[in-house]
Amino acid sequence: MRERFALQYKADEHRRMIGGKETIIHCHHYNARLQHTIEHVTDVDGAKIIRDSAEAVFAEHVANVLEEGDDEATRLAAVGALYAHLGFGRLELSRAAEGVVTSDQSHYVEGWQAGFSETQRKACTFTEGYLQGALAAALGRPFSVREHKCMNAGDDRCEFTVDARHEPVLRNDKRPSDFHPKAADGHGEHGNIDEQAIIDALVQMPFMGSDEGLIPAFGVYLALTPADFYNLMCIQFVEQMRAKGLFRTAQRLLTFAGETCAMNTFRGIMASAEWDALIAPMIQHKEDALYGLMALSNGFGWGNWRVTEHRPAETLTIESLNGYEAIGHREYRGSCDDPQCFMLCGVSAGMMELVYGEGLLEDRFGTFLSEENQCICTDAPCCHFEVEPA
Amino acid sequence: MVHRERSYACIHPETYKYFFHVDEVRRIWGVLQACYGPLHHTPGFGVIEIQSERFLFRAVGGGNPITVIRRRGCTDADVEALHRRIGFFERA
What is the arithmetic mean of pLDDT over A264-287? 92
Residue range A342-363, pLDDT digits in tens: 999 999 999 999 999 988 888 9
Residue B91 lies in a domain: no
Please report the ipTM that was assigned to this predicted complex. Answer: 0.90
A174-183, A193-202, B75-84, range with the lowest pLDDT: A174-183
pLDDT at A2: 84
Domain that holds residue B32: 3-86
A173-182, B7-16, B67-76, range with the lowest pLDDT: B7-16
Averaged confidence pLDDT in chain A: 94
Optimal mutation site among B8, B36, B40, B45, interface A, most CBs of chain A within 10 A: B45
Name every residue whose Cβ is closer than 8 Å to that of residue B28 and which is 6 or more positions away in sequence. Answer: B20, B66, B86
- Asked if the Cβ–Cβ distance from B7 to A271 is below 8 Å, we say yes
Residue range B20-49, pLDDT digits in tens: 999 999 999 999 999 999 999 988 888 999
Residue B66 lies in a domain: yes
pLDDT at A84: 98
- The CA distances from residue A49 to A22, A46, A170, A232, A250, in Å, are 21, 5, 12, 9, 14
Who among A202, A210, A264 is closest to B44 (CB)?
A: A202
Residue B92 lies in a domain: no
Quick check: A357 contacting B, CB < 8 Å? no
**Confidence bin at A322 (pLDDT 50/70/90):** very high
Closest Cα to residue A214, out of A87, A26, A358? A87
pLDDT at B7: 87
Number of domains in chain B: 1
Name every residue whose Cβ is closer than 8 Å to that of residue A207 and which is 6 or more positions away in sequence. Answer: A7, A25, A87, A215, A217, A222, A224
pLDDT at A187: 65
What is the arithmetic mean of pLDDT over A139-152? 97
Could you give all domains of chain A from N- to C-terminal order, each with its CATH number?
2-164 (3.30.1380.20), 195-211+244-389 (3.30.1380)
Quick check: B72 contacting A, CB < 8 Å? yes
Who among B10, B43, B47 is closest to A114 (CB)?
A: B10
